[in-house]
Amino acid sequence: MSSPANRSSRSVVLISSAFVLVWVVIASFPFIWTLWGSFKVQADFFSKADWRYALWGTRTLIETGGTFTGAGYEGAWIQEEFWRAAINTMIVVFFTVVISLTLGTLGGYALARSGHKYAFWLLMIALIFRAMPHITLVSGYLLPFFEWNLWGHLPTSIIVLVAINQPFTLWMLHSFFLNIPKDLDESAKVDGCTQFQAFRHVIIPVMWPGVITTGLFSFLLAYNDFAVTSMLLSEENRTMVPAIAGFLGSTLEEGNVMFAVAAVVSATAPLFVLVMFFQRQIVSGLTAGAVKG
Amino acid sequence: MRHKTFFWFILPSLAAMILFIALPLVSVVVQSLHIEHEQVIVTTENCGPFGCTEESSVDTEATAQLRAEQPLGRFAGLSTYFDRGHLATAEVAEAWRTQDSFGGFLSELYNLPFYKALAFTLTYTFLVTPLVIVLGLLIALGVNRLKPVLKGPTIFVSLLPMIITPLIGSLILFWMIDAQGVIGKTLQWLFDDPELSLKASPTLTWITLMIYGVWSSAPFAFVVFYAGLQTVNTDSLEAAMIDGATRWQQIRYVVIPHLMPLVVFISLIQLMDNFRVFEPIVGFSAQANATSLSYIIFADMRSDITRFNSAAATSVLTVIGVAILLAPVLLRTWRDFKGKAA
C-alpha cells in the first residue's frame, strides 16, 4: 500500500470491501448453516413453519429436550456404520497419495531433465489424458473388471485413482523440478554418481515442498472422487462420498436426511483442517502451473 | 538425460497411464461397436387334432448362457451411435422434415436424450467458464486492496467452495434451496410466491446448477489471479497514473494485459472441468430437468440392466467433444513448439 498507485478514493475502497464481504458470506454461509443445522432435528433443518426454527432449535427442544442433538451423528456413524466408509476412505486416500507421488516424482523428474522432443509430447499426451471425463474411463473399466473379478475391491479403485491422477501429478512435479537448478544433479554426476544416485542423494532431500503441495492435490482428488468410487466399489467397500449418496436413496424416511447431513459435515471436517494447515501450499500449487506453464 | 535412463524413470507412471487411461479408451471404442446378444428363440411345432402350428418361445437358459459366455455381445458396427439414445439420425431427419420452424425442430431435438444432455453440457461449459473468470478477477482485485491482516482469513474462506467434495457441496446447497430450506424460503418471501420451487422448472434448475458451478470454481480463478496481481509491476502502474490514467484505465490497460496469460490458463482448465459436469446433477437430483453427457453415461451404467454399449457410445462421443474443445489449444502449442524448434 506504500505505492501511490495503490492509493485510491474512499468510495472505491468502500465498494471493493463491500464486494469482498458479500463474497465471504456467499462462500462461507452454506458451511456455517449446515454445521449448525446438523445438530438439529429434521423439522428444524427443513422448517415448514418458520426458517428461524433452525436458529433456535424450536422443534429440537420439543422432540429431544435440548436445543442441540447428536442424533444425526449417532444415526450416521453407529446405526448406518459410516465409520466403515471412513476407514475405507482413509485406506484409499493414503495409498493413492503415496503411490501417485512415488510414480509422479520419478516421471516428473525425468520429464524436467530430459531435453528431448518426446518429453514434450509426453506432457501433451498427459494434458489430453487430464481432460478425459473420469466417467468415460470408468465405462471402459466396468466390463473387463466384471469379467476378471477385479470389480468391487479397494486395490482396484486405488490403482485406477493413481492412474487418473498421474497426468496432473506429472505436470505439477515437472514444473517443480524445473525450478531445482540443473547444476545440482549435473555436478553430482560429474563426481561419478549415476542418474539415479544423483536423484536419490541430491534431488530427494530438496524436493519436499513440491512433493507436499502435489500430495495435497492428489489427496483432494482421491478424497473428493465420486465417479470412480461409486461405480467400482462394492457396497461393503464403499468410501464416504458414495456412502453419502447412498443415504439419499432412503431420504423419504423421517430422520434419514439428518444422517446424511451429519455425514456430510463429518466428511467436510478433514478438508477444513487441511486448508487451515496447508493454505499456503494450496495457493502456491494452484499458481505453479499457471505462472510457469 | 540418456534415453535409457529416461525410459526407466518414466516407465511406472507411463505404464499406469497406458493401462488405465489409454486402454480403457480402446475398450470403450470396442464396447460401443458391440451390442448385447439377442434372445435365443426356439421354434417348436405343435401338432394337434386341427393341424400343426409353429410356436416360438424364448430359451431363457440358452440366452443367459450365451450372454455369460460372450459378455461383449455381438458385433453391431456403428448402429449404437445412430440409435435413438445417441445421434438419433433417423429421428433428427424426421424432425427436420416435419417441423416447419427452426424452433420446432430444436424442441423436437431437445426431446432426444443425447441432444438434451449435449445442450446442457455446452450451455454450462460456455456460461460458467466466463462467469468464473470475471468473478474470480473481481474477488482478486477486491482482496488485493484489503489490509494485510484480513487477507489470510479471506483467502481461507474463499478456498472452501473449491476444495469441498463436489457432491457434498452440491448437496449442501440443495438442502438450502429446498422449498423448506433457508434460501428456498427466502426466495419465496422475496418473490411473494409460496409455491416457488427451484426444482420444479427446467430453467430454474439450469440456473441453480450454473450458480453452483460458478460458486465452486470462482475460488480457483481468484487464487490464480491473486497470485498474478502480486507480480504486477508497480512502476508501470505509477507511470500510468502520472500520465493521468483513472483507476479503471489502470486496470484496463496495465493489470488486465498482465493477467492475460492467466486467463488463457484458467479458461483451459475450466473448459476441461466444466465439460465433465456430473456430480452437481446427482447432488441436486436434477436429472429430470438437466442431464449432462457424463450423467447419461453414469445413468446407463447404473440402470438395472447395465447398457455397456450405450454408455460406451456416449463415452466415445464425449471424448470426441473433448478433442474438439482442446483442438485450438493443442494446435497453438504445436505451432509454438515448432516455432521454437525451427
Q: B121-134: per-residue pLDDT in tens?
A: 999 999 999 999 99
Residue B252: predicted pLDDT: 87
Q: Report, as an integer, the average pLDDT of B302-325.
A: 90
| DSSP helix/strand/coil, A7 | coil
Asked whether residue A35 falls in the same domain as residue A141, the answer is no
| DSSP helix/strand/coil, B41 | strand
Asked whether residue A87 falls in the same domain as residue A220, the answer is yes
Asked whether residue A141 falls in the same domain as residue A274, the answer is yes
Residue A2: predicted pLDDT: 43
If we measure between CA atoms, which residue out of B16, B170, B22, B309 comes closest to residue A170? B16
CATH at A247: 1.10.3720.10
Asked whether residue A70 falls in the same domain as residue A114, the answer is no
B149 contacts chain A (CB < 8 A): no
> Is the Cβ pair A271, B333 closer than 8 Å?
no
pLDDT category, A74, cuts 50, 70, 90? Answer: confident
Q: Which three cell numbers stand for residue B36?
A: 448385447
pLDDT category, A291, cuts 50, 70, 90? Answer: very low
Q: State how far residue B92 is from chain A, nearest Cα, in angstroms.
A: 25
Q: Which of A139, A162, A195, A281 to probe the B interface (max B CBs under 10 A)?
A: A139
B262 contacts chain A (CB < 8 A): yes
Nearest CB to A30; choose among B155, B176, B272: B176
Q: State how far residue B99 is from chain A, nearest Cα, in angstroms.
A: 34
Cβ contacts of A179 within 8 Å, gap of 6 or more: A210, A292
Q: Taking CB atoms and an 8 Å cutoff, what residues of chain A touch B300?
A: 139
Nearest CB to A26; choose among B142, B215, B226: B215
Query: Taking the alpha carbons of B211, B216, B221, B222 in that order, is the dihedral positive or negative?
Result: positive
Residue A249: predicted pLDDT: 66
Asked whether residue A47 falls in the same domain as residue A131, the answer is no
Nearest CB to A271; choose among B164, B219, B306: B164
B5 contacts chain A (CB < 8 A): yes
| DSSP helix/strand/coil, B53 | strand
Q: Taking CB atoms and an 8 Å cutoff, what residues of chain B touch A103?
A: 12-13, 16
If we measure between CA atoms, which residue out of B80, B222, B239 comes closest to residue B155? B222
Residue B101 has pLDDT above 70, yes or no: yes
Residue A77 has pLDDT above 60, yes or no: yes
Answer for the pair B208, B284: CB distance below 8 angstroms, yes or no: yes
Residue B108: predicted pLDDT: 87
Domain that holds residue A34: 4-74
> Is the Cβ pair B13, A166 closer than 8 Å?
yes
The last residue of one of the domains, among A74, A100, A128, is: A74
Q: Which residue has the higher pLDDT, B114 or A5?
A: B114
pLDDT category, A88, cuts 50, 70, 90? Answer: very high
When divided into structural domains, chain A yields a total of 2
A54 contacts chain B (CB < 8 A): yes
B228 contacts chain A (CB < 8 A): yes
Asked whether residue A98 falls in the same domain as residue A206, the answer is yes
B213 contacts chain A (CB < 8 A): no
Q: Rounded distance, CA B251 to CA A1, Å?
A: 16
The last residue of one of the domains, among A40, A74, A108, is: A74
Report CA Rg, chain B: 27
Cβ contacts of A188 within 8 Å, gap of 6 or more: A197, A198, A201, A202
Q: Which of A15, A118, A143 to probe the B interface (max B CBs under 10 A)?
A: A143
> Is the Cβ pair B301, A139 closer than 8 Å?
yes
Other beta carbons within 10 Å of A277? 11
Residue A3 has pLDDT above 80, yes or no: no
Half-sphere exposure of A37 (CA within 13 A, CB side): 30
Query: Taking the alpha carbons of B298, B299, B303, B306 in that order, is the dihedral positive or negative?
Result: negative
What is the identity of the amino acid at B172? I
Q: Taking CB atoms and an 8 Å cutoff, what residues of chain B touch A6?
A: 145, 234, 237
> Is the Cβ pair A271, B165 closer than 8 Å?
yes
Q: Which three cell numbers stand for residue A90?
A: 482413509
| DSSP helix/strand/coil, B43 | strand
For cell 466415445, the residue is: B316
If we measure between CA atoms, which residue out of A273, A104, A286 comes closest to residue B13? A104
3-state helix, strand, coil in chain B (%, to 5): 75, 5, 20
What is the identity of the amino acid at A81? E
Q: State how far residue B209 is from chain A, nearest Cα, in angstroms.
A: 15
Q: Rounded distance, CA B185 to CA B197, Å?
A: 9
Boundaries of every domain in chain B = 80-111, 115-288
Residue B33 has pLDDT above 70, yes or no: yes
Asked whether residue A175 falls in the same domain as residue A205, the answer is yes
Q: What are phi and psi of A70, to 5 degrees?
A: -100, 20
Burial class (CB in 10 A: 0-12, 13-18, 19+), A253: exposed
Residue B121: C-alpha distances to residues A25, B118, B125, B167, B325 (Å): 29, 5, 6, 17, 12
Asked whether residue A28 falls in the same domain as residue A105, the answer is no
Average per-residue pLDDT for chain A: 86
Residue A5 has pLDDT above 50, yes or no: no
- For chain B, strand residue ranges (E) read 34-35, 41-48, 51-58, 74-75
Residue B135: predicted pLDDT: 96
Q: Report the complex ipTM.
A: 0.89
Q: What's the CATH class of domain B115-288?
A: mainly alpha
pLDDT category, A253, cuts 50, 70, 90? Answer: low
Measured distance between the N- and C-terminal CA atoms of chain B, rounded to whole angstroms: 22
Asked whether residue A277 falls in the same domain as residue A208, the answer is yes
B22 to chain A: closest CA residue: A129
Window 224-243 of A: residues touching B by CB (8 A cutoff) are 224, 226-227, 231, 241
Q: Which three cell numbers stand for residue A4?
A: 501511490
Q: Which residue has the higher pLDDT, A86 or B305?
A: A86
The last residue of one of the domains, among A45, A74, A103, is: A74
Residue A293: predicted pLDDT: 40
Asked whether residue A112 falls in the same domain as residue A253, the answer is yes
